[in-house]
Amino acid sequence: MNSISLAVPEVALQAIRKLIVEQGFGPGDMLPSQRDLALQLGVSRASLREALSSLSALGVISVQPGKGVFVQSLIDLPRNESGLSWPFAAQALPVDIFQLRYALEGFAAGLAAVTLTADELDALEDNVEAMRNELRAEDFDAAARLDFEFHQRILLASGNQAMLSILSTSAEIFLESQKLPFIRPERAMETWQEHRKILRALARRASGAAQKAMQEHVRNAALRTGIAIVTPTTS
């Protein structure tokens, strides 16, 4: 039976963040042991470690082997969920946009793997190369625009006019969501690496791999922004 649920590591990630805020942990404070955290949150040690790894990458906590888990800097929490200027709050929250993109763009990538022309593939290859150059130059606004163009080209290549219409009528919201992951410049190259993975799947005409690579990319982009999104699971 199909159901919508939050992946266990994402549950743990959100729960740890809530624990830090609600119990007043500050920078330098040590959290409960990993064993105690796993018991308290009702998750496996493996899921907990994955959540801690994501929070460490976001600069929220520091995992010090042999010592413990320490709050690194509350100030470093991405502010999109509390304080970041998001100009489209009346229409949808960032988490809503990432969820929509996960569903819509993953499916579009799977379709594009079948319908993509040689010229469209060449244009995507040029886009990926251009993004690498902009990221090396640390021009993150230009990189975000190329990110938007990459996704737009895949939607175009899918041939699904309804999905393209959704993008066209909400282009500004989609572009704004694609700027968010670049708030952490040290992780910006991950976007380019994920685009390369999508491109390789498209070049192989591997529909399932393209869909999976796109969905992983959108989920990772959300996590780089500090958002753990609800994603479909099969049970």
Average pLDDT, the chain: 82
Residues 110 and 219 in one domain: yes
Residue 49 counted as domain residue: yes
8-state DSSP, 30: B
Tell me: pLDDT of 149 over 90.
yes
Q: Are residues 23 and 92 in the same domain?
A: no
Model pLDDT for residues 45-91, shown as the tens digit of each residue: 888 888 888 777 667 788 888 889 998 865 333 444 433 456 676 67
Helix (H) or strand (E) holding 92: none
CATH of the domain at 6: 1.10.10.10
Q: Is residue 189 part of a domain?
A: yes
Q: Does residue 224 share a domain with residue 111?
A: yes
Whether residue 82 lies inside any domain: the answer is no
Same domain, yes or no: 175 and 100: yes
Name the residue range of residue 67's domain.
Answer: 2-77
Last residue of a domain, one of 27, 43, 77: 77
pLDDT of the residue at 232: 65
Does 20 reside within a domain?
A: yes
User: Do both 99 and 204 map to the same domain?
Assistant: yes
Look at the chain and report how many structural domains it folds into: 2
More confident residue, 228 or 81: 228
Q: Per-residue pLDDT tens for 194-226?
A: 999 999 999 999 999 999 999 999 998 888 777
Residue 14 lies in a domain: yes
32, part of any domain: yes
Do 59 and 126 reside in the same domain of the chain?
no
Note if the pTM is more than 0.75. Answer: no
Q: Is the same domain home to 28 and 58?
A: yes
pLDDT at residue number 80: 41
Query: Rounded to an integer, what distance in angstroms lies between the CA atom of residue 77 and that of residue 74?
Result: 6
Q: Are residues 117 and 205 in the same domain?
A: yes
Q: Is residue 118 part of a domain?
A: yes
- Six-digit token string for 47: 């899921």
112 shares its domain with 143: yes
Query: Bigger pLDDT: 146 or 5?
Result: 146
Say whether both 133 and 162 belong to one domain: yes
Query: DSSP letters along 73-105, please?
Result: -GGGS-GGGTTS--TTTTT--HHHHHHHHHHHH
Task: Look up residue 97 and give its two tokens.
Answer: 């946009």
Question: 148 with 179, same domain?
Answer: yes
Six token digits for residue 83:
């304080």
Note whether 36 and 137 are same-domain residues. Answer: no
- Beta carbons within 10 angstroms of residue 12's beta carbon: 26
Percent of the chain past pLDDT 90, that is, above it, reads: 35
CATH of the domain at 169: 1.20.120.530
